């Protein structure tokens, strides 16, 4: 019996696996590629795009200066928005009902109205409050100066963008803080750490993993939203500047392409930055490696070799780690 | 001074809303004593443990560690709740080990152990690191110093957690079901470390379901149920010859 079974197994021809073919996938891909090629060829020829003009204005000094202003608007307003957002998030988590309610009302107003409308309001601040007074209420002010002088359009643009963005950042930060296990706060408290130390050293670093992906989206979104500060009106940023040039030269389409290329350039850089930040704050989570030092040592010892298994420890229950990939660095 | 007990609980009660979790608990833990708190879940043993380092605020009664009232200041025959800063200072001297380890996942084992001495005590990094490595060696994890918690087994994580608590040089160690979240084969390594601590004279209060540990290591055993101390005494006697029917019922289930 066993003999026949054994020979039966031996002589049996192996099953030849033929994978399911998907002819339509390939056909569809070819059609799509053809359409894309057609579009590109057409766009290259089409006079309305006026590629020579795009090349001429892409590195025009007025444009690169405006691009720099756009970047400044993004960075300054984002920094303020993050600080204010963290404050609002902590306020919303406060046991003091008045404090948490104020934060809620702030969010309700600034998330519930369009940023364009808010920016228009900031543009009119000089009309609504004609002077800025410093002093005690119901007495003569110590210092008083006209709002229009104190607050330039540039500052108003930053304030307008930042206050709007803070409302969104607050919700992102709050979600991040709540994502950290409550045992972490307990452990830190039990060690005698203060509330502030617990936040800075334990809670915030862990919440960053949850905060950074949506916050990265917000930065990219902010870069593009800067084009709305024309509502103030502030005219020195990328979009308004390129539109102004187009109004004189009648090269509207090429100028839009120039602006788009700059926006794409900046957002691409931001996406790369976000990638590395996410890696940085994923420390200890997700990666299956002992630590960076051990990894560096392995990498330097083995050169470009991958798939080395560092077995660390002696006398301890052995943990055999999966092969490490030196390119998967966490910072 | 050496004769005064390390922990004195005098009619300690604790309520969450209308739910009275601890009902007038009175007990003493001497210096160097290992006390095991046992009882069914919901009996209030973990809550009592958390009151000792003021993670929970007692509703009434007095709880003192090393002669110092916990969480309150007494003046004019009244008890005033402490400010967070004062409570934090008291917690420095009381180590706590949690059921779910609660290691900081973004720090290596070594960084976990070094964090509090540097941040809370403000000690210099060099001395702290040497001490932290010695502590990790003491719990058998010298080789794992640079591992993140995610790369350690449950038993190893809990031993790092013990080293982290010891780094503050506490005079009292609280263990809140330290082996309940562990796979059975990892329980022994944690209990071994705790037994070593007990041998070195550490005062310990251990909430546990490990009756073997209670029998061999503990100096006293307290059985709690429904927020009251039902029975207490020398572990071997309580375990072998429980007097109260509730103790008998509980032990018949776990032994």
CATH code for the domain in which residue A164 is found: 1.10.3720.10
The phi and psi torsions of A24 (rounded to 5 degrees) equal -70, -30
- Domain encompassing residue A147: 65-134+141-282
**Residue A135 pLDDT grade (very low, low, confident, very high; cuts 50, 70, 90):** confident
Q: Rounded to a whole number, what is the distance in Å from the CA of A210 to chain B's nearest CA? A: 13
Model pLDDT, residue B255: 78
Residue A238, domain member (yes or no): yes
> In sequence order, which residues have a C-beta less than 8 Å from that of residue A279 and are 6 or more positions away?
A329, A330, A331
Determine the angle formed by the axes of helices A252-281 and A51-58, rounding to 10 degrees.
Answer: 60
Beta-bridged to residue B231, according to DSSP, are B223
Hey, are the CB atoms on A191 and B115 less than 8 Å from each other?
yes
pLDDT for A5 beyond 70: no
Q: Do A187 and B106 touch (CB under 8 A)?
A: no
CA distance B177 to B98: 7
Cβ contact A194–B84 (<8 Å): yes
Residue of A nearest to B120 (CA): A193
Q: Give how far Cα A19 sits from Cα of A13, A16, A118, A213, B109, Å.
A: 18, 10, 59, 38, 48
Mean pLDDT of chain A: 84
In a domain, residue A78? The reply is yes
DSSP B145-161: TT--GGGS-HHHHHHHH
How far does CA B52 lie from the centroid of its chain? 9
User: Using one digit for the tens of pLDDT, what is the confidence trace for B116-161?
Assistant: 999 999 999 999 999 999 999 999 999 999 999 999 999 999 999 9
Q: How confident is the model at residue A102 (pLDDT cuts 50, 70, 90)?
A: very high
Please tell me if residue B108 touches chain A, with a CB cutoff of 8 Å: yes
Confidence of residue B75 (pLDDT cuts 50, 70, 90): confident
**A279 interfaces chain B, CB cutoff of 8 Å:** no
* Distance (Å) from the alpha carbon of A284 to chain B's nearest alpha carbon: 5
Put simply, the answer to whether B146 touches A202 (Cβ < 8 Å) is no
| Residue A226 domain-assigned (yes or no) | yes
Contact B240, B215 (CB under 8 A): no
Does A35 fall in a domain?
A: no
Domain count, chain A: 1
Position A157 in a domain: yes
- Is residue A51 in a domain? no
Would residue B166 be called left, alpha or beta, if left means φ above 0 and alpha means ψ between -120 and 50 degrees?
A: alpha
Is A185:A151 a contact under the CB 8 Å cutoff? no
How does the average pLDDT of chain B come out, rounded?
Answer: 94
Per-residue model confidence as pLDDT tens digits over A242-279: 999 999 999 999 999 999 999 999 999 999 999 998 88
Closest-CA residue of B relative to A322 is: B151
Q: How many CB atoms lie within 10 A of CB A162?
A: 22
Separation between Cα atoms, residue A244 and residue A65, nearest integer Å: 14
**Closest Cα partner for B7 from B53, B74, B38, B44?**
B53
Q: Beta-carbon neighbour count of residue A171 at 10 Å? A: 16
**Quick check: A325 pLDDT over 80?**
no
What's the DSSP call for residue A15? P
Q: Does A102 touch chain B (CB under 8 A)?
A: no
- Residue A326 pLDDT > 70, yes or no? no
Note the ipTM here. Answer: 0.93
pLDDT in tens, A266-319: 999 999 999 998 888 888 775 544 444 444 444 443 333 333 333 333 333 333
Higher pLDDT, A199 or A289: A199
pLDDT at A18: 86
Q: Give pLDDT, residue B1.
A: 54
Residue in A closest to B137 by C-alpha: A316
Q: Which residues of A touch B100 (CB under 8 A)?
A: 183
Integer angstrom CA distances of residue B37 from A118, B83, B95, B164, B235: 61, 29, 17, 23, 10
**Is there a contact between A184 and B104 if contact means CB atoms under 8 Å apart?**
yes
B140 touches chain A (CB under 8 A): yes
Q: Is the pLDDT of residue A78 over 60?
A: yes
Of A232, A252, A218, nearest to A78 (Cα)? A218
Q: How far is A293 from chain B (nearest CA, A)?
A: 8
Whole-number Å distance between alpha carbons of B170 and B190: 19
Tokens of B90: 């008291």
Q: Is the peptide bond before A233 cis (omega within 30 degrees of 0)?
A: yes
**Rounded to 5°, angle at Cα A42 from A37 and A48:** 145
Q: Using CB atoms and an 8 Å cut-off, which of residues 76-95 of chain B contact chain A?
A: 84-85, 88-89, 91-92, 94-95
pLDDT of B93 reads 94
Backbone angles phi, psi at B186, to 5 degrees: -100, -10
Query: How many angstroms separate the CA of residue B23 from the nearest CA in chain A?
Result: 24
Q: Going from the N-terminus, what domains does chain B have, and what CATH number goes with each? A: 7-252 (3.40.50.300)
Candidate ranges A16-25, A277-286, B90-99; pick with highest mean pLDDT: B90-99
Closest residue, chain B, to A282 (C-alpha): B106
Min Cα distance B172 → chain A (Å) is 12
In three-state secondary structure terms, A131 is strand
| B229, β-bridge pairs | B224
State the Cα torsion B252-B30-B51-B250 to the nearest 10°: 0
Q: Answer whether B105 sits within 8 Å of A284, measured CB to CB.
A: yes
The predicted pLDDT at position A15 comes to 82
SS3 sequence of B75-133:
ECCEEEECCHHHHHHHHHCEEEECCCCCCCCCCCHHHHHHHHHHHCCCCCHHHHHHHHH
Residue A21 confidence (pLDDT) above 50:
yes
Contact A319 B55 (CB under 8 A): no
Q: Helices B154-166 and B184-199, interaxial angle, to 10°?
A: 20
Summarised one tens digit per residue, pLDDT across range B5-39 is 999 999 999 999 999 999 999 999 999 999 999 99
Measured between beta carbons, which residues in chain B are less than 8 angstroms from residue A187? 96, 98, 102-104, 161
Residues of A in contact with B122 (CB under 8 A): none
Residues of A in contact with B102 (CB under 8 A): 181, 183-184, 186-187
Distance CA A71, CA B9 (A): 62
């Amino acid at each position: 019996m066993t003999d026949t079974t054994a020979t039966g197994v031996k002589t049996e021809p192996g099953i030849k696996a033929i994978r399911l073919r998907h002819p339509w996938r390939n056909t569809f891909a070819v059609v799509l590629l053809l359409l894309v090629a057609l579009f590109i060829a057409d766009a290259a020829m089409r006079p309305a795009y006026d590629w020579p003009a795009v090349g001429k204005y892409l590195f025009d000094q007025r444009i690169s200066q405006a691009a720099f202003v756009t970047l400044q608007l993004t960075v300054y307003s984002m920094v303020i928005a993050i600080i204010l957002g963290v404050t609002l998030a902590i306020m919303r988590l406060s046991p003091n009902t008045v404090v948490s309610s104020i934060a809620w009302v702030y969010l309700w107003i600034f998330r519930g109205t369009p940023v364009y409308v808010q920016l228009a309001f900031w543009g009119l601040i000089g009309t609504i409050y004609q002077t800025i007074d410093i002093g005690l209420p119901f007495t003569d002010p110590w210092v008083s100066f006209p709002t229009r002088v104190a607050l330039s359009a540039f500052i108003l643009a930053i304030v307008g963008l930042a206050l709007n963005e803070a409302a969104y950042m607050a919700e992102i930060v709050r979600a991040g803080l709540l994502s950290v296990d409550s045992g972490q706060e307990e452990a830190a408290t039990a060690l005698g750490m203060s509330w502030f130390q617990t936040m800075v050293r334990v809670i915030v670093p862990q919440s960053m993993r949850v905060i950074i992906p949506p916050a990265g989206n917000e930065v990219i979104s902010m870069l593009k939203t800067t084009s709305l500060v024309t509502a103030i009106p502030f005219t020195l940023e990328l979009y308004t500047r390129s539109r102004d040039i187009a109004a004189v030269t009648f090269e509207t389409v090429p100028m839009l392409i120039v602006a788009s290329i700059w926006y794409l350039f900046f957002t691409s850089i931001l996406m790369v930055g976000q990638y590395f930040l996410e890696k940085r704050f994923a420390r200890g989570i997700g990666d299956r490696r002992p630590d960076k030092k051990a990894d560096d040592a392995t990498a330097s010892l083995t050169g470009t070799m991958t798939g080395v298994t560092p077995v660390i420890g002696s006398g301890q229950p052995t943990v055999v780690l999966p092969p490490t990939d030196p390119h998967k660095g966490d910072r | 001074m050496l004769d005064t007990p390390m922990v004195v609980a005098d009619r300690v009660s604790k309520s969450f809303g209308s739910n009275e979790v601890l009902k007038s608990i009175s007990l003493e833990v001497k210096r160097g004593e290992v006390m095991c708190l046992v009882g069914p879940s919901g009996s209030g043993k973990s809550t009592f443990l958390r009151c000792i380092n003021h993670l929970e605020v007692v509703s009434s009664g007095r709880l003192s560690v090393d002669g110092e009232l916990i969480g309150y200041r007494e003046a004019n025959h009244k008890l005033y709740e402490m400010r967070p800063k004062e409570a934090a200072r008291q917690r420095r001297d009381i180590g706590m080990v949690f059921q779910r380890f609660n290691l900081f996942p973004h720090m290596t084992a070594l960084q976990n152990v070094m964090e509090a001495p540097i941040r809370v005590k403000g000690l210099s990094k060099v001395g702290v690191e040497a001490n932290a490595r010695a502590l990790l060696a003491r719990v058998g994890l010298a080789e794992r110093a640079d591992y993140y918690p995610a790369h350690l087994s449950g038993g190893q994580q809990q031993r790092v957690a013990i080293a982290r608590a010891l780094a503050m040089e506490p005079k009292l160690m609280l263990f809140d079901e330290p082996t309940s979240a562990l796979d059975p084969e990892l329980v022994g390594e944690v209990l071994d470390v705790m037994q070593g601590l007990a041998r070195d004279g550490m005062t310990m209060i251990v909430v546990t379901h490990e009756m073997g540990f209670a029998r061999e290591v503990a100096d006293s055993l307290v059985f709690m149920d429904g927020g009251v101390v039902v029975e207490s005494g020398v572990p071997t006697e309580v375990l072998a010859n429980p007097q109260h029917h509730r103790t008998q019922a509980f032990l018949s289930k776990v032994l």
